[in-house]
């Protein structure tokens, strides 16, 4: 950084003095007294100046925000919890030596070894059953599915073994396990690898279902899920793994957690409430930015948790805006948006609505493989803008 030249005005211009090395050997007594007085004044002035500087409140710029990808946030969360609690371990296909199919577990095998980062055969039913049994025995497993589409191979273990055991044991047997992996549509992987399981698992009592959006969500919610005594389905999104987000100073702490079951208002607004989760929070914020230029202020709510659903936050917002739009990537029938519509209709916020609730969802078909058909099968920003305007009748 270059600095401009600054002219300094001195009370005594030393640059014009005679040779500073030539010092008289003797000063008269009067001169010595004057010098002593001057020295005391100089020291006193300097001391006062330092005190003034210490008292003065300087403007300090905020430290540069740390950016972290969702992938690294998940990795950091698991690393911190593995270090914090020796009962925690990770198992799944290619999570160890290969560092995970999406590199979410990068470096953990080298740090914690074969006993705690465990590669499994390609048998979801088998290794999920092992993980659930380990949870019943007092450990805290993280069971990774390479994609949640493969969790259907193990859905008996997830629902019948993990979700129902606490109830069937009259509260005597907890099952502290996290099922995590990418969920929903990715890109170019067609019908069998593009389903959103938010509504599937949220339908089942006994499970908690979490759907993070950004890096803070990913870290804080995963740490809470690992510490929870209930089975938690943790739905990530493959397309969000490499996206960087700013991390607050608070979120960089090893003690940082986000409570499960609490939504977050990502953008304040007073014309319409837009409720969404996972990747579509980004879509809704982009749509809200476009609509703001037209004078429409959207309040965007990031659900974070699908079950238990934070109905209170939704109702509070709807009572303020009097309009509601839900956005999700899953199919429309019996989906997350459908549940939100029902809960709002059954609660006090219904009387505040000035128009019917509008849902923006994936199209009710298996996912096509062709790129252009895939784009038409998923909610786009233009679809959200259209739905908001339709709801507001503008």
Question: CA 1: distance to chain centroid?
Answer: 36
State residue 38's pLDDT score: 59
Residue range of the domain that includes 209: 66-252
Question: Could you give the residue ranges of the DSSP H alpha helices within 116-227?
Answer: 124-136, 155-156, 164-168, 198-202, 215-227
CATH number of the domain to which 133 belongs: 3.40.50.970
Domain containing 294 — which CATH number? Answer: 3.40.50.920
Question: Do 103 and 187 share a domain, yes or no?
Answer: yes
240 lies in the same domain as 279: no
Residue 279 lies in a domain: yes
Alpha carbon distance 230, 165 (integer Å): 10
Say what angle helices 336-346 and 311-321 make with each other, to 10 degrees.
Answer: 70
Residues 102 and 180 in one domain: yes
Considering its fold, how many domains does the chain have in total? 2
Task: Please work out, in degrees rounded to the nearest 5, the angle formed at the alpha carbon of residue 233 by the alpha carbons of 231 and 238.
Answer: 155
Residue 51 lies in a domain: no
Pair (234, 336) in one structural domain: no
Residues 187, 277 within the same domain: no
Tens of pLDDT, residues 19-70: 434 444 444 555 555 555 555 555 555 545 444 444 444 445 555 578 999 9
pLDDT per position as a tens digit, 211-245: 999 999 999 999 999 999 999 999 999 999 999 99
List residues with catalytic annotation. 124, 193
At 182, list the tokens: 């990418």
Q: Is the pLDDT of residue 84 over 90?
A: yes
Residues 226 and 304 in one domain: no
Residue from 270, 258, 275 nearest 312 by CA? 275
Whether residues 212 and 269 fall in one domain: no
Task: Give the confidence band of 9 by pLDDT, cuts at 50, 70, 90.
Answer: very low
Confidence of residue 90 (pLDDT cuts 50, 70, 90): very high
289-338 confidence digits (pLDDT tens)? 999 999 999 999 999 999 999 999 999 999 999 999 999 999 999 999 99
pLDDT at 108: 97
Q: How far apart, in whole angstroms, are the C-alpha atoms of residue 300 and residue 291?
A: 12
Same domain, 70 and 92: yes
Global pTM value: 0.82
């Amino acid at each position: 950084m270059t600095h401009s030249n600054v002219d300094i005005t001195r009370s005594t211009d030393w640059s014009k003095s005679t040779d500073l090395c030539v010092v008289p050997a003797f000063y008269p007594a009067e001169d010595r007294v004057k010098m002593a007085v001057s020295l005391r004044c100089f020291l006193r002035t300097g001391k006062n100046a330092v005190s003034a500087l210490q008292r003065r409140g300087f403007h300090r710029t905020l430290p540069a925000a740390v950016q972290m990808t969702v992938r690294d946030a998940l990795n950091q969360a698991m690393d911190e919890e593995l270090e914090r609690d020796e009962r925690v371990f990770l198992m799944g296909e290619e999570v160890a030596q290969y560092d995970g199919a999406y590199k979410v577990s990068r470096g953990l095998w080298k740090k914690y070894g074969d006993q705690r980062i465990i590669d499994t055969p390609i048998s979801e039913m088998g290794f999920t059953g092992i993980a659930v049994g380990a949870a019943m025995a007092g450990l805290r497993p993280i069971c990774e599915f390479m994609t949640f589409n493969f969790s259907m191979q193990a859905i008996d273990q997830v629902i019948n073994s993990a979700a129902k055991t606490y109830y069937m044991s009259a509260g005597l047997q907890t099952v502290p396990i996290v099922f995590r992996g990418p969920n929903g549509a990715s890109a170019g992987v067609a019908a069998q690898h593009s389903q959103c399981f938010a509504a599937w698992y949220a339908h089942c009592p006994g499970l908690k279902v979490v759907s993070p959006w950004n890096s803070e969500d990913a870290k804080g919610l995963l740490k809470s899920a690992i510490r929870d005594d209930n089975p938690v389905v943790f739905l990530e999104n493959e397309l969000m793994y490499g996206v960087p987000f700013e991390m607050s100073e608070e979120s960089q702490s090893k003690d940082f957690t986000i409570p499960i079951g609490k939504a977050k208002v990502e953008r304040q607004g007073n014309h319409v409430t837009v409720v969404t989760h996972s990747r579509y929070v980004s879509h809704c914020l982009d749509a809200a930015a476009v609509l703001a230029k037209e004078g429409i202020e959207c309040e965007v709510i990031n659900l974070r948790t699908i079950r238990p659903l934070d109905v209170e936050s939704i109702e509070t917002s709807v009572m303020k805006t009097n309009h509601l739009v839900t956005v999700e990537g899953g199919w429309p029938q019996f989906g997350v948006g459908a549940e939100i519509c029902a809960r709002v209709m059954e609660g006090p916020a219904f009387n505040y609505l000035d128009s019917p609730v509008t849902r923006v969802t994936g199209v009710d078909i298996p996912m096509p493989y062709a790129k252009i058909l895939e784009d038409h099968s998923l909610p786009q920003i233009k679809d959200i803008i259209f739905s908001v305007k339709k709801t507001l009748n503008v």
